[in-house]
Amino acid sequence: MNTAIPVPSSDTRDPLYGWLMVFIVFTLSILAFGALGSISVFLKPLSTEFGWSRAETSLGYTVIAFSTAIFGILWGYIADKYGTRWFGVVAAFAMSISLFLLSNQSNLLQFYSFYFVFGAFGAALVSSPLFANVSFWFRKNPGLAIGITAAGGAVGQGIVPYLVAMSISASGWQSTYLLMAAVYICIALPLSLLIRESPWRKEVMQSGLDGNRDFPLSEIEVIAWISIAVIFCCNCMSIPIVHLIPLLTDTGRSVEVASSVFLLLMLSGGLGRIIGGKLGDWIGALPTYMVMSLGQTFFVFWFPHIDSLPLLYFVAIFFGFTYSGVMTSLLMCTRMMVGARLAARAMSMTSFFGWIGMGMGGFIGGIMYDTYSNYVWSFGFASIMGTINLLILSLFYLRIRSKRKPATQSAIPSKESAVLDALGVE
């Protein structure tokens, strides 16, 4: 069987190039997830321009989520077999070309098609496969490295929509798409040329060996549990990502004020991903996942019920912190429970179901708005989905505990104990 944590054959120090990889994937995540988050800012201008409903327009978010999910599995297989050396280069061109084409769109089919390309050949390449690569550059405190890398997505979903909102106000949606296309290629392409494979993963890929595994659940079962939980988890978090700005502007606030709330949410999310990773190193990945899931489930409910702007900022900070901590701890759970040989496929598979949840949540939130002409039911639905996610994680925790070998039955108890301690399972 294969190990979740292969024993290094030589030097155990983390290569300095690993931190450059953290910066590269952090930046690429800003761009990919920033474009995804900016759909919420384009939502109302495009609806007004073309007469599309909220559900029709928010379906663009669903399209990019589903295309990222589906193609992520393909890229995960390729990454495990051949590596990720050229993933960033392909993504740089795909993202820029898609944004350029979006500046000239004239109907829903084009809107969906161009975002499909962005997800399939852009976001899918720079998310799970590169996260897996980065995670195996580090043997000591991998949670911190994963947290910093994943923080790029939260920072991007805050900064990019905020800048997009200012650009739309000044120049319109078409010029904004053109500007994004130019900026993306100028930033993404040079960085992508520096991507290298983790020496640890490269050794496993070349040898086909991953050491001895002493974890109580099979890798297939681990992936199944995480995948089921993440569907509901991402349904919960996607509602504010897609609909918070429209919710706030519907109540009379300017797009600049609404974008500032969203910006603060995502910037606190960047901090949440870093602290979530470090917390995972301290108390374990699975307990961190559960604590952060509880936070996002509680705070998401209150957005449509709050009139006070300071209180909105307060809720946005704590929702952003906890929802982003979920993302880091999810990656950590996969990293700790699945071996390097299957890392990209495992992260791509769990991300597949995560993107499905994200796409479902964004679309269902739009349908509920069109049905009830307000967002109360949309955000209530998000909280219900978060509650189901918590229930699944609790069952997963109990399942691991029930299958853990007593110390007297394990020939080498320290291996299993080390993994379970890292996961926070006693």
Mean pLDDT within 77-87: 88
Q: Which of 342, 329, 336, 347 is nearest to 389 (CA)?
A: 329
Rounded CA gap, 37 and 242, in Å?
Answer: 7
Alpha helices in 38-107, H assignment, sequence order: 39-50, 54-82, 87-102
Collapse the DSSP code of 83 into the 3-class scheme (helix H, G, I; strand E, B; otherwise coil) and give the result: coil
Q: Please write the tens of the pLDDT for every residue from 394-407.
A: 999 999 988 876 54
User: Which has the higher per-residue pLDDT, 231 or 413?
Assistant: 231
Residue 177 is predicted with a pLDDT of 96
Instruction: Please tell me the pTM assigned to this model.
Output: 0.75
Mean pLDDT within 310-315: 94
Q: Please write the tens of the pLDDT for every residue from 198-219.
A: 887 777 666 655 544 567 888 8
Instruction: Please classify residue 161 by burial: count the beta carbons closer than 10 Å to its beta carbon, then call 0-12 exposed, 13-18 middle and 19+ buried.
Output: buried
Is the model's pLDDT at 7 over the cut of 70? no
Domains of the chain: 17-423 (1.20.1250.20)
- Please work out, in degrees rounded to the nearest 5, the angle formed at the alpha carbon of residue 223 by the alpha carbons of 345 and 287: 120
Rounded CA gap, 228 and 76, in Å?
Answer: 19
- Please work out, in degrees rounded to the nearest 5, the angle formed at the alpha carbon of residue 353 by the alpha carbons of 160 and 289: 75
Instruction: Please classify residue 304 by burial: count the beta carbons closer than 10 Å to its beta carbon, then call 0-12 exposed, 13-18 middle and 19+ buried.
Output: buried
Residue 279 is predicted with a pLDDT of 86
Mean pLDDT within 304-310: 92
Rounded CA gap, 402 and 406, in Å?
Answer: 10
Q: Please write the tens of the pLDDT for every residue from 347-364.
A: 888 888 888 888 788 889
Segment (H or E) for 316: helix 309-337
Rounded CA gap, 402 and 408, in Å?
Answer: 15
Residue 414 is predicted with a pLDDT of 47
Identify the residue whose tokens are 């704590």: 318
Identify the residue whose tokens are 């327009």: 57
Is the model's pLDDT at 313 over the cut of 90? yes
Rounded CA gap, 196 and 206, in Å?
Answer: 15
Q: Which of 100, 188, 109, 139 is nearest to 418 (CA)?
A: 139
Residue 385 is predicted with a pLDDT of 95
How many alpha carbons lie under 13 Å from residue 238 in its C-beta half-sphere?
29
Rounded CA gap, 285 and 134, in Å?
Answer: 17
Rounded CA gap, 84 and 86, in Å?
Answer: 6
Residue 197 is predicted with a pLDDT of 87
How many alpha carbons lie under 13 Å from residue 263 in its C-beta half-sphere?
14
Tell me the C-alpha to C-alpha distance, in Å, between residue 58 and each of 42, 261, 349, 377: 10, 20, 24, 16
How many alpha carbons lie under 13 Å from residue 244 in its C-beta half-sphere?
36
> Are 228 and 17 a contacting pair, CB within 8 Å?
no
Confidence of residue 72 (pLDDT cuts 50, 70, 90): confident
